[in-house]
Amino acid sequence: MRILIGALGLALLAGCASMNEKRADGPARSFSSAKPVDSLAECVLFAWQNQSLMGAHYGASIQPLADGGRTVISTGEVEFADFRGSNSGTEVGLYFQSGLMDWRKNRRIEAVNSCL
């Protein structure tokens, strides 16, 4: 029984792509803003933290990107947004794990749009 549960857990984890794998596939949505990276990333962070999804609030955090910029990431890496500086302000790439319901994606997109 333990082996079966362990195998099931590994099978579930195998279906989730890493953040770098998602980045290699390209963003699900892209946005541009004249706002600076830090203020835009913080706005999205607070919007995601304050968002209620089916009556629950899910955690989100912010971390630096290795090549400059910021990433806002939800708990469990279900969705994340990369913020990179550009000549005109900030470029945003929004990424989702596969199998995520459209209503949740749309709520996250709305939160990003509200900060642009």
pLDDT tens-digit series, residues 17-57: 788 898 999 999 999 999 999 999 999 999 999 988 777 77
- Domains of the chain, CATH where assigned: 17-115 (3.30.160)
Phi first, then psi: give them for residue 70, nearest 5 degrees. -140, 155
**pTM score:** 0.82
Give the pLDDT of residue 20. 87
First to last CA, the chain: 50
The whole-number average pLDDT for the span 71-89 is: 95
Mean pLDDT of the chain: 88
Give the pLDDT of residue 10. 45
The whole-number average pLDDT for the span 73-79 is: 92
